Structure 1
Amino acid sequence: MPDAADRTDDQALPSEGALFHERVLAGPGFWIAAVAVGGALGLILVPLNLTAAVAVSAVSVLVLLAVVFQYSPVLEVDEGVFRLSRARIDVDLLGEPVVLRDEEWSLAIGQDFEPLAHHCVRGWTRSGLRVEVLDDEDPTTAWIASTRRPEDLALALRTAQRQRRREAR
Structure 2
Amino acid sequence: MPVYREKLWPAPWIFIAALLLIPASILVFAPIDLTVGFVVAGVLYAAVVIALLLSTPAVEVGDGMLRAGRAGIELEHLGEAVPFDGAAARTEKGTALDVRAYLLLRGWIHPVVRIPVEDPADPAPYWLVSTRRPKELAAAINGSRRPD
Asked if 1:64 is matched to 2:48, the reply is yes
Q: Does structure 1 retain, via aligned residues, the 8 Å contact 2:111–2:130?
A: yes
1:93-151 deviations in whole A, cap 9, x for unaligned? Answer: 11111111223212211221112211222344332111110111011100011111011
Q: TM-score, normalised by structure 1?
A: 0.74
- Give 1:60 shift: 1.3
- Shift of the 140–155 alpha-carbon distance from structure 1 to 2, 3 Å rule, reads same
Give yes or no for the alignment of 1:127 onto 2:111: yes
- Write the distance in 2 (CA, Å) between the matches of 1:61 and 1:44: 15
Q: Which residue of the other structure, out of 26, 30, 44, is the alignment partner of 1:46?
A: 30
Q: Counterpart in 2 of 1:83?
A: 67
Please give the TM-score of this superposition, normalised by the length of structure 2. 0.83
How many residues in Structure 1 have an aligned counterpart in Structure 2?
147
CA distance in 1, matches of 2:67, 2:27: 40
- Inter-partner Cα distance in structure 1 for 2:7 and 2:26: 30
Q: Which runs of structure 2 are paired with 1:3-14 in the superposition (5 Å)?
A: none
Unaligned ranges ≥5, structure 1: 1-16
For residues 96 and 7 of structure 2, the distance between their equivalents in structure 1, rounded to whole angstroms, comes to: 25
Q: What residue number does 2:15 align with?
A: 31
Two-structure CA RMSD over aligned residues (Å): 2.3
- The alpha carbon displacement at 1:82 in A equals 1.1
Distance 1:18 1:39 in 2: 43
1:153 Cα deviation from its structure 2 partner: 0.8
8 A Cα contact 2:22 2:38, kept in partner:
no
3-state SS, counterpart of residue 9 of structure 2: coil
